[in-house]
Structure 1
């Protein structure tokens, strides 16, 4: 039986700071222009790293976690732009299925299909999905959110009653900041909840190496012409706090 080692990737350096603070006996290993922080959370060996942005960077990072640090499961946290109209800033999406919206090898194969794998979507397993969902709900229930994030910070981003949604996440090497982009994706992939730049690449690598994964995304903007949010402030005040609290709650269950 393999020794359990959990890898945690964050899409922003600020998002991993709070998670690194959870580590007991922290050490750092520098490799491939990345700093891998190792230690234990609740007695479980853990490796935390900033993935950098985009599919290639994320795939490189998770591959290093698998080969060099021998992780047995993977958690990924980051922000995303809302595609579905029901999502608001501060909501959290858990990826049930991940796909690459910029994969298109037609006419050799269907649009979005990953070459050689005959797959369009990569699915998170139900056990890890349930654990992550419970961890998120614990943050949102019984006003726990106000003990994690200052009320004035929640008000700054008009976050009142954030919700958890589980479903499809699309990834690609594009930042969505226009109505035409958003509407085009929503038309082609009506089940997609949000869009980001790493999750499906991470999911593909994990699928190929048979590593269970959880992709956890905080909605930071609505991915259109009105996406004028103060990203540095949102990362510092909201999503980084979410990330640390959700990770802490996950480790309390395992």
Structure 2
């Protein structure tokens, strides 16, 4: 196995990259890829830049240039479900776009049966095993994540809830899952919450991004250690 690990920003991935041994750096499409090992697992990690196209570029290069067998995106998200608090983590059972017309995916390439990309069953099983360790302080939930280009404020939140009822929203997961789907690569998203309906806004996001990212990375690391 060879894992591609994507963080949208430096804050969301560099704490993991620092732990990679035997690092080799290569650059493609203005992105820097860090190859090496985490414990005994072969990994290639990078920060892709935020939003859908940047994340898609990173995912396809991981597949084409580095022959990764699995891709995981780690980082942060905005809480939608009121059960979530800042610092909690969502692990994707399924992801979808909230800003793409449904027919684009089902009536045209890649002719999907639904708008949802499923999280990989093996990776989800590993995560559930990790949770049995009872070492994490935050609440960890498995469920739906939706992706779009905009930072969600109060204005767009109700529409997303009514249509998708997700746990959280981000700007990259569905696009990475889309690339994995057409390449038949197992995918998973691990996203921790920077802001909620009651604590929202770009300032709240920025205040929490660094510390909250560690929650997702901790789960990622423990999952890799169980392979």
TM-score above 0.5, yes or no: yes
Of residues 100, 103, 116, the one that matches 1:103 is 100
Bigger Cα Rg: 1
**Matching of residues 168-207 of structure 1 within 5 Å:** 168-177=144-153, 179-190=154-165, 192-207=166-181
- Residue 215 of structure 1 is matched in structure 2 by 189
C-alpha displacement of 1:224: 6.9
- SS where residue 167 of structure 2 aligns? strand
CA contact (8 A) 2:88 2:192 kept: yes
Query: Where do 1:1-254 residues align within 5 Å?
Result: 4-104=1-101, 109=103, 113=106, 115-116=108-109, 117-118=111-112, 119-135=114-130, 138=133, 141-142=134-135, 145=137, 162-177=138-153, 179-190=154-165, 192-222=166-196, 226-227=200-201, 229-239=203-213, 241-254=214-227
Aligned residues: 225
Gaps of 5+ in 2: none
Cα–Cα, structure 1 residues 173 and 112, in superposed 2: closer, same or farther, change >3 Å? Answer: farther
Deviation, 1:136, is 5.2
Q: Give the conservation status (yes or no) of the 8 Å contact 2:82–2:197.
A: no
CA RMSD across the alignment:
2.1
How many Å separate the matches in 2 of 1:217 and 1:6?
Answer: 17
What SS class does the counterpart of residue 215 from structure 2 fall into? Answer: helix
C-alpha spacing 1:58/1:120, structure 2 compared with 1 (3 Å): same
Q: Confirm or deny: 8 A CA contact 2:56 2:176 kept in the other structure.
A: yes
TM-score normalised by structure 1 residue count: 0.81
For residues 66 and 170 of structure 2, what CA distance do their matches in structure 1 show? 26
Displacement of 1:45: 1.6
Q: Is the 8 A contact 1:74 1:212 kept in 2?
A: yes
Distance 1:87 1:212 in 2: 26
1:89 to partner: Cα distance: 0.9
